[in-house]
Structure 1
Amino acid sequence: MKTHVKALVVGGGAVGASIAYHLARAGWDTLLLERDELTSGSTWHAAGLLPYFNMSYATTHIHDYSIRFYKGLEAETGLNPGFFVVGNLRMAQSRARMDEYMLYATTAETCGVPFEWLSPDQIKERWPLVRTDDLVGALFHPTDGYINPADVTQAMAKGARQLGATIERKWQVDGYDWTGSEWRVTVTRMAEKGGNLVATDEQAVITAEHVVTATGNHAQRTARLLGIRTPAIPVEHQFIVTEPDPALVEWRDAGNPQHPVLRDADAKWYVREERGGWILGPYERGAPARFEYGCPDSFRADLFPLDLERIEAEYMSMIHRIPSSEQVGLKDDFNGPICYTPDGNPLLGPAPGLRNMWLAEGFSFGITAAGGAGHYLAQLMVEGEAEIDMGSLDPRRFGDWMTTDYAARKNEEAYEHVFILHHPDEERPACRPLRTSPAYDRQKRLGAQFGQVNGWERPNYYGPEDAPETFDHDARSFRRGGWWTHAAYEAKAIRERAGLIDATAFTKHLVRGPGATAFLDRFTCNALPRVGRVNLTYALSSAGTVRTEYTIVRLSEHEYYLVSAGAWQAYDHDFLVKAAEDKRAEFGWIDIHDVSTQWGVFALAGPNARAILNDVVRDADPASVLSNRRFPWLSARDIELGMCPVRALRVAYTGELGWELHHPIEMQTYLWDLLMAAGEKHGMALVGARAQNWLRQEKSYRAFGTELGRDATPLEAGLDRFVDLSKEFHGKAAMVATGIRSKCVTLLIDGPEDADPWGREALYHGAARVGRLTSGGWSVVFGKSIGMGYVRPDLAVPGTRLQVRMFDSLWPAEIVEDSPHDPANARIRADG
Structure 2
Amino acid sequence: MQTHVKALIVGGGAVGTGIAYALSKAGWRDVVLLERDELTAGSTWHAAGLLPYFNMGYATSHIHDHSIKLYKTLEEETGLNPGFSVVGNLRMAQTQARMDEYELYASIAETVDIPHEWMTPAQIKERWPLVRTEDLKGAIFHPTDGYINPADVTMAMAKGARDRGVKIERRWQVDGYHWTGDHWDVTCTKMVEKGGNLVASEEQVVIHADHVVTATGNHAQRTAQLLGIKIPAVVVEHQYIVTEPDPALVEYRKMQPQHPVLRDADAKWYVREERGGWILGPYEKNAPARFEYGVPDSFRADLFPLDLDRIEAEYMSFIHRIPSSENAGLKDDYNGPICYTPDGNPLVGPVPGLRNMWLAEGFSFGITAAGGVGHYLAQMMTEGEAEIDMASLDPRRFGRWMTTEYAARKNEEAYDHVFILHHPDEERPACRPLKTAPSYDRMKARGAQFGCVNGWERPNYFGPLDAPESFDHDARSFRRGGWWKHTVEEATAIRETAGMIDATAFTKHKLRGPGAAAFLDWFTTNKLPKVGRINLTYALTEAGTTRTEYTIVRLAEDTFYLVSAGAWQSYDSDFLAQAINDNVERFGPMWLDDCTGMHGVFALAGPNARAVLNKVVRDADVSTVLSNKRFPWLSARRLELLMCPTNAIRVAYTGELGWELHHPMEMQNYLFDRLMEAGEQHGLKLVGARAQNWLRQEKSYRAFGNELGRDATPLEAGLDRFVDLSKQFHGKAAMEDVGIRSKCVTMLIDGPADADPWGREALYDGDTKVGRLTSGGYSVAFSKSIGMGYVRPDLAVPGTKLRVRMQRKLWDAEVTEDSPYDPTNARIRIDG
The two structures have a TM-score, normalised by structure 2, of 0.99
Question: 2:246 and 2:254 mapped to 1: Cα distance?
Answer: 12
| Distance change in 2, residues 1:139/1:189 (3 Å) | same
Q: Does 2:404 align with 1:392?
A: no
2:679 is paired with a residue whose SS is helix
1:52 maps to 53
Q: Determine helix, strand or coil for the equivalent of 2:266.
A: helix
Q: Deviations over 1:609-655 (max 9, x none)?
A: 00110110010011111111110000000110010000000000000
Which residue matches 1:772?
Answer: 772
Aligned residue for 2:311, secondary structure, equals: helix
Separation in 1, partners of 2:469, 2:386? 49
Counting only pairs closer than 5 Å after superposition, residues 703-782 of structure 1 correspond to structure 2 as: 703-782=703-782
> Aligned to 2:238, what secondary structure does the other structure show?
strand
1:831 aligns with 2:818: no
- Which whole-Å CA distance do the structure 2 matches of 1:391 and 1:805 have between them? 25
State the shift of 1:306 in Å. Answer: 1.1
- Report the Cα offset of residue 472 of structure 1: 5.9
Q: Which runs of 4+ in 1 moved over 6 A?
A: none
> What corresponds to 1:110 in structure 2?
111
Residue 534 (structure 1) aligned with residue 539 (structure 2): no
2-side partners of 1:46 and 1:452: how far apart? Answer: 32
- C-alpha distance after superposition, 1:758-805 (max 9, x if no partner): 000011111101111000000000000000000110010000011100
Indicate yes or no: 2:559 matched with 1:555.
no
Secondary structure at 2:508's aligned position in 1? strand
Amino acid at match of 1:283: Y
Aligned to 2:615: 615
For 1:691-714, what per-residue CA distance to the aligned partner results, in whole angstroms no more than 9, with x for missing partners? 000000000000000000000000
Contact 1:273 1:279 in 2 (8 A): yes
**Whole-angstrom CA distance in 2 between matches of 1:201 and 1:142:** 52
Superposition map of 1:233-632 within 5 A = 233-254=234-255, 256-466=256-466, 468=468, 474-632=474-632
Shift of 1:471: 5.7
The answer for the alignment partner of 2:76 in structure 1 is 75
SS at match of 1:191: strand
Q: Is the 8 A contact 1:747 1:814 kept in 2?
A: yes
Q: What amino acid sits opposite 2:640 in the alignment?
A: E
Helix, strand or coil at the partner of 1:147 = coil
Q: For residue 120 of structure 1, what is the aligned residue in structure 2?
A: 121
Q: CA deviation at 1:230?
A: 1.0
Q: Is the 8 A contact 2:449 2:472 kept in 1?
A: no
Give the distance between the partners of 2:266 and 2:783, measured in 1 at CA.
Answer: 35
Cα distance, 1:428 vs. partner? 0.6
The answer to whether the 8 Å contact 1:473/1:483 transfers is no
What do residues 555-577 of structure 1 show as CA deviations (whole Å, max 9, x unaligned)?
A: 11111000000000000000000
* Whole-Å separation in 2 of the counterparts to 1:30 and 1:828: 56
Amino acid at match of 1:85: V
Alignment of 1:116-265 (within 5 A): 116-254=117-255, 256-265=256-265
Shift of 1:196: 0.5
Gaps of 5+ in 1: none
Q: Kindly tell me: are residues 292 and 471 of structure 1, through their superposed partners in 2, closer, same or farther at Cα, counting changes over 3 Å? A: closer
Q: What is the Cα deviation at residue 481 of structure 1? A: 0.7
Contact 1:463–1:473 under 8 Å retained in 2: no
Whole-angstrom CA distance in 2 between matches of 1:792 and 1:475: 36
Cα contact 1:525–1:724 (8 A) shared by 2: yes
Structure 2 residue identity aligned to 1:523: F
Distance (whole Å) between structure 2 residues aligned to residue 739 and residue 24 of structure 1: 29
1:418 counterpart letter in structure 2:
V
Kindly state the Cα deviation for residue 468 of structure 1 after the two structures are TM-superposed. 4.9
| Partner SS for 2:443 | helix
> In the alignment, residue 146 of structure 2 is paired with which amino acid?
G
Map 1:688-707; keep pairs closer than 5 Å: 688-707=688-707
Q: Which moved more, 1:734-743 or 1:470-479?
A: 470-479
What amino acid is the match of 1:73? L
Output the CA distance in 1 between the equivalents of 2:127 and 2:247.
18
State the partner residue of 1:647.
647
Q: Deviations over 1:732-771 (max 9, x none)?
A: 1111111111100000001111000000001111110111
Amino acid at match of 1:246: P
Offset at residue 478 of structure 1 (A): 0.2
CA distance in structure 2 between the aligned counterparts of 1:766 and 1:468, rounded to whole angstroms: 46
State how far apart, in whole Å, the 1-side matches of 2:27 and 2:494 are.
Answer: 56
Q: Which letter maps to 1:124?
A: K
Q: Distance in 2 between matches of 1:647 and 1:818?
A: 30
Superposed displacement of residue 253, structure 1: 1.7
Whether contact under 8 Å (2:694, 2:779) holds in the other structure is: yes
Q: Distance between the aligned counterparts of 1:64 and 1:409, measured in 2?
A: 30
Contact 2:447 2:467 in 1 (8 A): no
CA offsets per residue over residues 519-554 of structure 1, 9 Å max, x none? 111110111111110000000001110001000000
**3-state DSSP of counterpart to 1:596:** coil
Q: Which amino acid aligns with 2:105?
A: Y
The answer (yes or no) to whether the contact 1:342–1:410 under 8 Å persists in 2 is: yes
Displacement after TM superposition at 1:37 (Å): 0.2
The residue aligned with 1:40 is 41
1:266-300 Cα deviation digits (max 9, x unpaired): 00000000011000000000000000011112110
Q: Report what 2:660 is aligned to.
A: 660
Distance in structure 1 (CA, Å) of the matches to 2:779 and 2:158:
53
Paired residue type of 2:328: V
Deviations 1:660-682 (A, max 9, x none): 00000000000000100000110
Distance in structure 2 (CA, Å) of the matches to 1:530 and 1:538? 17
What is the letter of the counterpart of residue 13 of structure 1?
G
Cα contact 2:41–2:301 (8 A) shared by 1: yes
- Conserved? CA contact 2:92–2:262, under 8 Å: yes
Q: CA deviation at 1:474?
A: 3.5
Aligned-partner residue type, residue 825 of structure 1: N
TM-score normalized with structure 1 length: 0.99
State whether residues 59 and 390 of structure 2, in contact with CA within 8 Å, keep that contact through their aligned partners in structure 1: yes
- Asked whether the 8 Å contact 1:239–1:281 carries over to 2, the reply is yes
Change (3 A) 1:470 1:578: closer
Name the CA distance, whole Å, in 1 between partners of 2:139 and 2:560.
54
Cα distance in 1 for residues equivalent to 2:215 and 2:367: 13
Cα distance, 1:544–1:470 mapped onto 2, change above 3 Å: closer
After superposition, give the CA deviation of every residue in 1:436-484 in whole Å (9 maximum; x if it has no partner): 0000000000100000000000000001214659966642100011100
The answer (yes or no) to whether the contact 2:90–2:142 under 8 Å persists in 1 is: yes
Number of residue equivalences: 831
Residue 71 of structure 1: how far off its partner (Å): 0.4
Q: Answer whether contact 1:473 1:482 (CA < 8 A) is retained.
A: no
Distance, in Å, in 2 between the alignment partners of 1:647 and 1:365 is 46
Q: Is the 8 A contact 1:292 1:404 kept in 2?
A: yes
Residue type at the aligned position of 1:400: R
- Separation of aligned partners in 2, 1:112 and 1:620: 63
Q: Distance in 2 between matches of 1:534 and 1:328?
A: 70
1:25 deviates by 1.5
Is 2:794 the partner of 1:794? yes
Query: In structure 2, what residue type is equivalent to 1:632?
Result: P
C-alpha deviation, 1:67, in angstroms = 0.2
Specify every segment of 5 or more residues in structure 2 that has no aligned partner in the other structure, as ranges. Answer: none
